Amino acid sequence: MKRKWKIFTLFVLFIVCISIDLGTKDMAQRYLKYSAAVQIVPDYIEFRYTENDAIAFSMLKNIPKPRRTIIIYSTTIFAFIVLGLLAYQSREESYAWKTAIVFIATGAIGNFVDRLFDGHVVDFIHFHYQDKFSWPIFNVADILITCGAILLALLMLTRKDIPDEDLQLSDVKRDDPEIF
């Protein structure tokens, strides 16, 4: 029952994250597309509609669109394969590990769906400091991917693996799920 509950909560988290991402992008298209930037915290945070047909930080923007599209879809498919393999290999990992994968997957899927149906990704969250500093405009999917990657990195850094040479057969219990 405990395992089924964890799977259910991860599924709900997946649906909620996808819904928030796609919902906020839809709202940005409806209310921000043809309006001026909306100040949330003056001189620091605003909602500003942009359409990014490149990748993060507008990388690849200088590559001609047909070639850029091939590169973006190819890397996206490769990323989904790697993410799928990571999810499969980590099926016995902690709940936090699976949560990180769900965050990364929902962000990637959200941006992929956007790109697939609209040909671009809607970005609308802008951090800046007056006219002195401006962070690239991003969206909820980008936040999810970043949070998932940070959580995954922290989990990898704090992982306590037993080196093979220190592992004795007498130390291993057959029913210990963390070893097998």
Q: How confident is the prediction along the chain (180 residues), in pLDDT tens digits per residue?
A: 588 898 899 999 999 999 999 999 999 999 999 999 999 999 899 999 999 887 776 777 778 878 888 888 898 899 899 989 988 888 788 889 999 999 999 999 999 999 999 889 999 999 999 878 889 899 999 999 999 999 999 998 987 765 555 545 555 555 555 544
Dig out the tokens for 24 from the structure: 């906020």
How far apart CA 159 and CA 74 sit, in angstroms, is 32
Cβ-contact 17, 144 below 8 angstroms? yes
Contacts of 149 (CB under 8 A, 6+ apart): 100, 104
The model's pTM: 0.80
User: For residue 124, how many other CB atoms are within 10 A of its CB?
Assistant: 24
Two structure tokens written together for 104: 């990364």
CA 11, CA 4: separation in Å to the nearest integer? 10
Q: Which amino acid is at 73?
A: Y
- What local confidence, expressed as pLDDT, does residue 179 receive? 45
Which of 8, 4, 13 has the alpha carbon at shortest distance from 99?
13
> In 10 A of CB 114, how many CB atoms?
23
pLDDT of residue 87: 85
- Which positions are annotated as active-site residues? 123, 142
CA atoms of 108 and 57, how far apart (whole Å): 15
Q: What is the pLDDT of residue 161?
A: 63
With the C-alpha atoms ordered 49, 51, 56, 60, is the resulting torsion angle positive or negative?
negative
Q: Which residues pair with 47 in a beta bridge?
A: 38, 125
